[in-house]
Structure 1
């Protein structure tokens, strides 16, 4: 078993299932903390701040972490744009407070007047007018950025539209491909590595979804640990050309070196 210093960990399906606890995940995190491992929750959710995510983990899932242990696609988007933008610091955002706050913290000005970037993420209050504005601004020359490609999100009502569904609408109306940030893209993983100061060889990506978590690791040249507590099944994964580095039925099975 390879020894890893860092563990990048998915949330829904891996650490919890909606509001339902996954007790093995809480025990897994406690074991990592006791072994002084670097723990970073890497999530495609752009709507929540790291503070909110950490509070939910502490209060509802018996996982004692802080905002410093959370890296959202909103933060990754802001970090990526901060790295490439130079003095082009104006953005129009279709998204919620997590995304808007992350961009403002990186000194971007949010505007609908000739922005340099149009950033589209999940927005539960989205309107036709917001999407219309995004499309027109991109067609006028703004660079199109998408937070993540998730087509759906699970909630108590079922599989509702995710950020990827909104991004696809804008893509179809503009005939322009966005720069994508979240899993399975390598960008969020590279930004997370930069945040932790670890190399890709020192980290394993832990997740339940082959098409996001495991593909993100593959695209970054990282090892992966697929846990069968969420979306992907052994039958589905068996058909994949590239297999996860490791698989477990639940996180109690994983030995920390």
Structure 2
């Protein structure tokens, strides 16, 4: 089937940590050569879209406009703006997430903020977890940027934002609003950005739990590529099969 637009994962699909997936670079260049619209939809909140763009160019030989990069950080801010509570927030996360939230006019507040936003934080401390827990207990809207329990890297599967979110969820007994894949929040906004009907789009990724379920749960066809999180031996036991499964993005024809 010919698709009018592509929703693309990054980690494990286009690259693996610091390592280029050559077929991923070739895939994006083929999309560009065929004038097929695409949008990188990533649960990674540690980097700004500009940083992601620079990294794609310098490390992975992919020149792409910054407008083609939609992160869970941007989707989080879009969701917060729609909710319309007081613009105060306590954020656990890297600079990419903090920049997105605070540059959108939200004021950092440790006690009684309107929002607690939790993403991946490589400098996580017990004190940060304590502040977030107390704020949620006091009535802050609890937002988790993405549910990824692990991050695929060249070192192996490292703890992801989902692991941190789960800790605060257990401590507060409050379920967070999850923004990133596979949730509808980020997917609906990504679909709107590309401007096509869902039936004309396909979600491409390496992680069944996030990328492929994002397609399955939001009525979008899915393409699982076996270069990252989900392994070939996992495929026969998946509860709902992806629309397509390939070993390499080189195997896909437009």
Q: Which TM-score bucket, shorter chain as reference?
A: over 0.9
- The CA deviation string for residues 72-107 of structure 1, in whole angstroms up to 9 with x for no partner, is 1111111111122x2522111111111111112332
Q: In the alignment, which residue of structure 2 is the partner of 1:56?
A: 55
For residues 128-143 of structure 1, the aligned pairs below 5 Å read 128-143=126-141
Task: Measure the CA separation in 2 of the matches of 1:132 and 1:156.
Answer: 31
Alpha-carbon RMSD: 1.5
Q: In the alignment, which residue of structure 2 is the partner of 1:82?
A: 81
CA contact (8 A) 1:228 1:248 kept: yes
- The CA deviation string for residues 192-229 of structure 1, in whole angstroms up to 9 with x for no partner, is 11222232122110011111110011111101111122
Change (3 A) 1:113 1:241: closer
1:68 aligns with 2:67: yes
The partner residue of 2:204 within 206, 212, 226 is 206
Q: Any idea what SS the aligned residue of 2:182 has?
A: coil
Task: Measure the CA separation in 1 of the matches of 2:64 and 2:96.
Answer: 18
Shift of 1:156: 4.7
CA contact (8 A) 2:149 2:161 kept: yes
1:238 aligns with 2:236: yes
- The CA deviation string for residues 146-187 of structure 1, in whole angstroms up to 9 with x for no partner, is 011111223454432211111111111101110111112222
CA contact (8 A) 2:88 2:106 kept: yes
CA contact (8 A) 2:85 2:114 kept: no
Of residues 212-221 and 188-197 in structure 1, the stretch that sits farther from structure 2 once superposed is 188-197
Q: Any idea what SS the aligned residue of 1:129 has?
A: helix
Q: Any idea what SS the aligned residue of 2:98 has?
A: helix
Task: Measure the CA separation in 2 of the matches of 1:250 and 1:211.
Answer: 19
- Could you tell me which runs of 5 or more consecutive residues in structure 1 were left unpaired when the two chains were aligned: none
Matched length: 254
Task: Measure the CA separation in 2 of the matches of 1:192 and 1:153.
Answer: 22
The partner residue of 1:117 within 104, 115, 120 is 115
Q: In the alignment, which residue of structure 2 is the partner of 1:228?
A: 226
Shift of 1:20: 1.6
Runs of 4+ in 1 over 6 A off after TM superposition: none
Normalised by the size of structure 2, how large is the TM-score? 0.95
1:12 aligns with 2:34: no
Task: Measure the CA separation in 1 of the matches of 2:93 and 2:129.
Answer: 11
- The CA deviation string for residues 19-76 of structure 1, in whole angstroms up to 9 with x for no partner, is 2222211111111111211121111111101111111111111111132111111111
1:144 aligns with 2:148: no
- Could you tell me which runs of 5 or more consecutive residues in structure 2 were left unpaired when the two chains were aligned: none
1:174 aligns with 2:172: yes
Normalised by the size of structure 1, how large is the TM-score? 0.94
CA contact (8 A) 1:8 1:41 kept: yes
Change (3 A) 1:72 1:113: same
